[in-house]
Structure formats: C-alpha cells, structure tokens
Chain A
Amino acid sequence: MKTGHIAALAAAAFFMEPSVAGLISFSGKAPELLLCLMIAAVFSCRDTGLVVGMIAAFAALQEICFSLYAGPGAFAVFLAGTLAAAAARYCTWDRLPFYLAFTVFDTAVYELILWAGLRIVGGYVSFTYFLKLLPLSACYNVAIMLPMYYWLLKQKQGAEEI
C-alpha cells in the first residue's frame, strides 16, 4: 500500500468511525477502523514509522473532535501500531492465521491501553465490562481485517506479476 492511499483511507476511517460504523454497533462498540487500517498498512508498507505516526495523528484528531478526552485513544493507537511495526519486522503477514491472531492480540493491547488511559483521565468503565466487550471488539476488527487481507494479497500478487 502506498502512503498516499493510506492517508486517504485514514481520512475515510476518521469520518466513518463516529458515523457509519454505528450501523453495526452493539453496546456502544463498533469496529475500530483506524486500528484495522494501521495493522494492514504496517504489514504492507515500507514506511512503518510514518504510517504509525500518521494514523496516530488521525486518532488524536478524532478524539479532539468527537471524544470526551483527547489523548488515550491516540496513545493506544500509537502503541498498538508500534507493536505491529515490531511484529512486521520479524514476521510475514501472508499466513492468514497469523494475520488474524495478531489482529486479535493487537485489539486486546489497544483496548487495554485505551481502558487504562480513560481510567487515568477520568473515564468511568469497569474492568469487567471492558473484558465483557473485548471479544466483541476483536470479532468486529477480524471481520474488517478479513476482506482487507484478500485485498492486500491481491495487490501483492499483482505487484509480483509486474
């Protein structure tokens, strides 16, 4: 994926997450589009640092515009992205089980950091409630990552043919 494409997709995710994502929300949870985009982008782009920084900036902007607290979400995206960048250095995303397992793992890391960050700044969510909704968040993100995987695979095969 090219950096320009990622920027355009991040802008789309920025607007869609607080609006259209609500179509499939349950208990106030919807897919984390920016997180999903970042995992896919980090695995398929060379400028991982730039991608992580850019998507974390979009997450920060999203918090400023729509959230009660600015900071925890962007920090969580940044750390989850750094983790994905580290994983991308040592592993290849081509194997679907790894790709999906990493999505679940990264979602858990992201949600945990977000929950802890929100508790620090004054959020009011219990840990048991966070744990209860964690599988739902993971399922949502896996559902988003699955078509993304086949799209990335198709792009990679196309590039190899050239």
Chain B
Amino acid sequence: MRSRSRKKQIAAISAGILAGLVLLVLFWRAASGSEGIKESLQNAAAAVTKPLYQAAGGIQRGFKGIFHFKEVTAENEILKKENEKLQLEKAALALTRQEKQELEELEAVFQYEAIRGYTVKAANVSAMEYSGWQGAFLIDKGSRDGVKPGCIVISGNGLVGKVTEVSAETAKVVSILSDDTKVSFQTLEKKGKMGVLQSDGKGGLAGYLLEDGKTVKKGTKLITSGIGTYPEGIIIGEITRIKRKEGTQRLLLEAKPSVSFFKLRKVAVVL
C-alpha cells in the first residue's frame, strides 16, 4: 500500500514537472516567435504594474522626506507660496510635490542642445527588472507613439540607454550598463578629449582615451561625442578612477553614470 502511494506521488511529481516544462517551452516560443502574444502579454502586465510602480515611487519619496525633514519644510514653504500664486492666477493645473519634481527632472532633457532637431516623447516607467542586475525597464510609450527599436532614451540627469523591443503601448529599454555596446565620449572641458566607454559589468562604466599620452582629471564630466548611436552633448557620467595601462601611454578610466537607473520614474525617448 505504502509503495503504491509513493509510486503515485512520484508519478504526480513527474507529471507536474513535465507540465511545467511544456509551459516553459510554450512561453519560450511565444517570447521568440511572432509578436502577437508577447505584445499582448506585455501590454496587459504593464497596465497593472504601471500604477503600482508609480505609487511605489511616491512612497519612496515620502520616506526620504521623513529623513530630510528640514529640507522638506523649507521646500514646503516655497511650494505653499507657489501654490498661492497659482491659485491667484486661477491655474487649473494642480501638481503634487512628486509630479513637480519629476517634471522638473524631465524639463532638463529639453535643455540638451543635441536633441533640438528631434521629436522627443516623455514616458513613464511602468516596470523595472530587479532580478537580472540588468537595468532594463518598461515604458508606457510604444509603436503607436512612434517609438522604434534603437530609439535613444534619456533622463534629466543624462544618458539612459536605448529601446530594444516595442509593442503598441509599451517599449523595453536597456540601460547603457546592460550590454557591451560602446559609447563614444568627450570630456566636458574647453578642449574635449575623446574616448570610448562601455559597461564594466559591475554597475559602472570603463573605457579609455583615444589619444595616447593625454591626461584627464578625476571628477571630469563626460558627454556623448556624437560619433555612433548617440547624439552629441548628452551627459554620461563622471570619471571616478584613472590609471595608465602598463607599458603604454594609454589612459584607462572608470566612470560613474550620472543616472540612477533603478530609480527612474520619467524618461524621454528621442524619436
């Protein structure tokens, strides 16, 4: 009797594992095959995660407010005055502190000289991938808004990455930390020095100066040079470490990206 029930249990486990494997294969095929199923799944999931993600952002900012009480009080006073002014002007638009901060962040995007000639679409982050150390996320703008794979994504703080997949209402964005794509840069100095950067696989960027024998200072800001995928003049980050390659004149450098990829709420897509 006992061995029979054990056999039954083993059969049930095997059946479950087999069913799981079949499902995995089906999902795999859906992921790599035609866009129909995948697009629909992505759109449906993003519709649920978007309000959750935005609400989580609000809570996070609220917690930060507790620890920066003085700053928040001062900011509150300014906001009160602004609010009174807005009320006097009978403004129809009332912004929350979070929305104001996000819009101010996004406003910086439109200051970039490099994207003057391009159409820029503002987008909200709908979901973030936290499991793969990747810095990949979903935005709420897709092919309906003109977003295509390869479109550049920036935030008020600088270069974010590019669009890799697009559905009608959403798009997947990969950060500059996630792949081995090289970004051509120039230093933000009078006579900018050119170089190449890419992800170091440790949450930062690593690269080198193109001209041997030149030197740069720690803390120097780096911007896109305009050569390759990204338009000129977008902030990438700042140099954190410099060393000369042994036996050569080549200057190797490490840089910290200016964007906190995992805290992004609003971004802009350059179409």
CB distance from B144 to the nearest CB of A (A): 18
- Evaluate contact between A70 and B20: CB separation under 8 angstroms: no
B108 at the interface (CB under 8 A from A): no
Inter-chain CB contacts under 8 Å: number: 179
B1-44 residues at the A interface, CB under 8 angstroms? 12-17, 19-21, 23-24, 27-28, 30-32, 38, 41-42
The answer on a CB contact under 8 Å between A68 and B134 is yes
Distance between Cα atoms of A61 and B127 in the complex (Å)? 14
Mask of A6-39 contacts with B, CB within 8 angstroms, 1/0: 0000000011111111110101111010000000
- CB contact under 8 A between A118 and B132, given known A23-B59, A126-B201: yes
If the complex has contacts A49-B14, A53-B19, A71-B31, are A60 and B24 also in contact, measured as CB distance less than 8 A? yes
Assess the A28–B23 pair: CB atoms within 8 A.
Answer: no
Please determine whether A125 and B138 come into contact, CB atoms closer than 8 angstroms: no
Asked, given contacts A15-B52, A73-B132, whether A64 binds B41 with beta carbons under 8 Å apart, the answer is: yes
Q: Separation in Å of the A4 CB from the closest CB of chain B?
A: 15
Contact A50 B19 (CB under 8 A): yes
Taking Cβ atoms with an 8 Å cutoff, the residues of B that contact A are 12-17, 19-21, 23-24, 27-28, 30-32, 38, 41-42, 45-46, 48-50, 52-53, 55-56, 59-60, 127-138, 164, 172, 174, 177-180, 199-203, 261-262
Q: List 6 A-B contacts (CB under 8 A).
A: A18-B130, A19-B49, A19-B53, A60-B27, A65-B41, A78-B24
